[in-house]
Chains A and B, each alone.
Chain A
Amino acid sequence: MPAIEPGYGRNALLLAIGLSLGAGVAAAIPQRAEGPVELAFSEYLAGDAEAISRIIPTTYFVGSGARKLRQEIDAAILRWGRERRAVLAAFLLEVAHFGLASHGGRDALDVLAKARSFVTDRIDPPGQNPKDDEFEIAWHKTAVALLGSLRQPDVLERIGIAPLGQRMSASPPPRGEPRLVDPWIELARALVEEQRTMADPGSLIRQAPAAIHRLEQAAKYDGNLPEAMVRECWLFVRLGRYDEALSALDTVGDWTEVGDTTVRYWSWLFRGRALEGLGRAEEAARAYREALAIVPHAQTPAAALAALETQRGNHDAAASWAAQGRSAPADAVDPWMSYGSGEHRFFEERLERLRELSR
């Protein structure tokens, strides 16, 4: 398979050299030194993505281990950065993912930020080289999906979104300035604002107007509409504005036409909550059952139905829903659980695509 190798500029290489010299480690690293990071990269180049978790010690992401991590990444950059920048960018993103999953923290995020420099330092500006554009968009979408799970909107914005500020727009700019063009960026910005509404007990009221504004902006693009409106619905539910929550869902029209099962499931779940808020218990119960029809073993609609029936004094029905909710099969997936994590639900498929593009 021919390798797709985006043409990066000299800045990345200069950065690589600078990193090493600046850290005073270049002299300490033999040209052929192969620590765990370099070994993992060699395996990764050969198509073994599992090498990262198999070879790199988790201790590299905590305490003094981080120094070795940085040294070895700098060494890998020196050795491979010139010719393998795209795959290095994908590899470092996966290293960051492994770091976040094993210990989390600053060091993993530093790795991700470093990886981005190999994506954005290009010879051609955005909008000039379709392959480079595709890779850059794919890398950022993957990074945003990864960062969503942290539920730290400032981090998501700083590392995932802000660097795209002057590089990407939702539609082609009027004066033809070169840009990456993808309506997704509006949804990504809205996700940051939505996560801000969850940051602390007072943030819902404080941050909701900005989030609603962003979601409305995102909803102007057809591809974003269902997810933007389902998220706006939930925001209105959390604010106790139940009529507006239902109106947001109605904006979409025919929900059976929405292909994203997860978003459709959320729409019924949130419709149920809004209807409950309006005192329309029977309709709420029907909405929750619709959610269950989409994901039969989901625990959340069962919990909602159990709570609703308790409120209605139907204790036997409540106990029955509760029993169903806690006895779902071990491999059952409930899409509600991914709601607060932005686009994390897309991480695996985006990562797979990124791997393809990087090789």
Chain B
Amino acid sequence: MICRSAVVFAVVLVGVAGAPAAPQQVIRSGVDAVTIDVSVTQRNRPVEGLAARDFELTDNGVRQTILDVSRDTLPIDVTLVVDMSGRGVLQPSLVAGVNRVLKSLRPGDRARIVTFRSHVREVAALAEAGSLAPLEIGPGVYYAVSPSGATACYDAVALSILTPPAPGRRQLAIVFSAGRDTSSFLAPSDLLAIARRSGPMVSVVHASFDLTPGDEAPEGAEPLATPVDPLAITPRFFEELADATGGRVEVVRPFRVQRHDTKSFSFRWQLVVGLEDSFVRALDDFRSAYVLRYTPEGVGTGGWHEVAVRVTKAGGQYEVRARKGYER
């Protein structure tokens, strides 16, 4: 999370400091302080016990002094952005995933729930996690059901991650997508530009519907060329989206697909894997990230700031994920 408005950041911190039991009191930010979430893993496991001296951070190419490093101390604002298009078979699993995240949040954490098909709907505004009712399958979850199963993923994610700065808090957006976009007005490049400049880390759960002929084709099936879905969102796009914000992508294949082409393309599918765990894994990943704070020195104040972080501690290869930059 980048606090792009340093003045607002400092002022709000003063206000928050008076609130009882507010964990963000640990921060004594200077006027120009910037915070950034950094996820460090080795072989997909979070690396524990890193300190400021173990990181090297550059802002627009200039090495910075890290003032402090914290981990799992700041409260979290999580926005759950859930694609509800399709024929409903995934929905129980999606609702369960959302509710698992709500249950995993701690006192002081907040959540917002946004669902979308062609239209976007904020079904639960940002509120203390404990005060939110569990999501239920029903009319409230759906929104303007389109006869063509339309879905506007780019627009929905853009509208969901553009949130006001939340000084002293960390922001995460967990996006579930079924991997299609039929109706967005915004282009993928618009969403990437927004993600780079917005606050939350964006982690994506991407349900892939793989129609490639597998080993299970029944006798007599003669697999034809797999049709290209012109409206599919490429896995590469989700990687770029997550990469821009320091987030992660988990590709889930919830369906077992059996092709039985004869004269025409044809298949059967079966739901075999739920999505609940993926949502919680995205939250756990975010919790395990380090929060680095520094005051930019030797760089201009305005415009785009490119940030690069690496771990200098000896002990092997580290996988480091962090936002690629911020705008002031």
Contact = CB atoms under 8 A, between A and B. Distances in A.
B114 interface: yes
A101 B164 contact: no
A307 B188 CA distance: 12
A307 B147 contact: no
Interface string B96-122: 000000000000000000100011111
B185 A322 contact: no
A219 interface: no
A303 B147 contact: no
Nearest to A318: B162
Contacts of B264: 106
A330 interface: yes
A23 interface: no
Contacts of B203: none
A337 B198 contact: no
Give the interface SS of chain B, mostly helix, strand, loop or mixed.
loop
A340 B156 CA distance: 18
A318 B327 CA distance: 14
A307 B190 contact: yes
Contacts of B118: 334, 337
Contacts of B114: 326
B164 A151 contact: no
Contact residues on A (Cβ < 8 Å of other chain), bracket? 35 or more
Given A303-B186, A336-B185, A310 B162 contact: yes
A26 interface: no
Contact of A310 (B185, B194, B228): B194
B193 A200 contact: no
Interface string A325-345: 111101111101100110010
A302 B160 CA distance: 12
Contacts of B122: 326-327
B119 A299 contact: yes
Contacts of B226: none
A303 B158 contact: yes
A22 interface: no
Q: Majority SS of interface residues in chain A?
A: helix
Given A306-B159, A340-B183, A151 B148 contact: yes
Contact of A328 (B5, B119, B160, B164): B119
Contacts of B158: 303, 306-307, 322
B152 interface: yes
A71 interface: no
B243 interface: no
Contacts of A200: 228, 230
Contact of A303 (B125, B155, B165, B327): B155
A66 interface: no
B317 interface: no
A76 B4 CA distance: 69
27 contacts: A149-B147, A299-B155, A300-B155, A302-B159, A303-B186, A306-B158, A306-B162, A313-B327, A315-B5, A316-B164, A318-B194, A319-B162, A319-B163, A322-B163, A326-B114, A326-B121, A326-B122, A327-B122, A327-B125, A328-B120, A330-B144, A336-B185, A337-B119, A337-B144, A337-B152, A340-B183, A341-B148
Interface of B: 4-5, 114, 118-122, 125, 143-144, 146-148, 150, 152, 155-156, 158-160, 162-165, 182-183, 185-186, 190, 193-194, 197-198, 228, 230, 264, 327
Interface of A: 101, 106, 149-151, 198-201, 203, 269, 273, 299-300, 302-304, 306-307, 310-311, 313, 315-316, 318-319, 321-323, 325-328, 330-334, 336-337, 340-341, 344
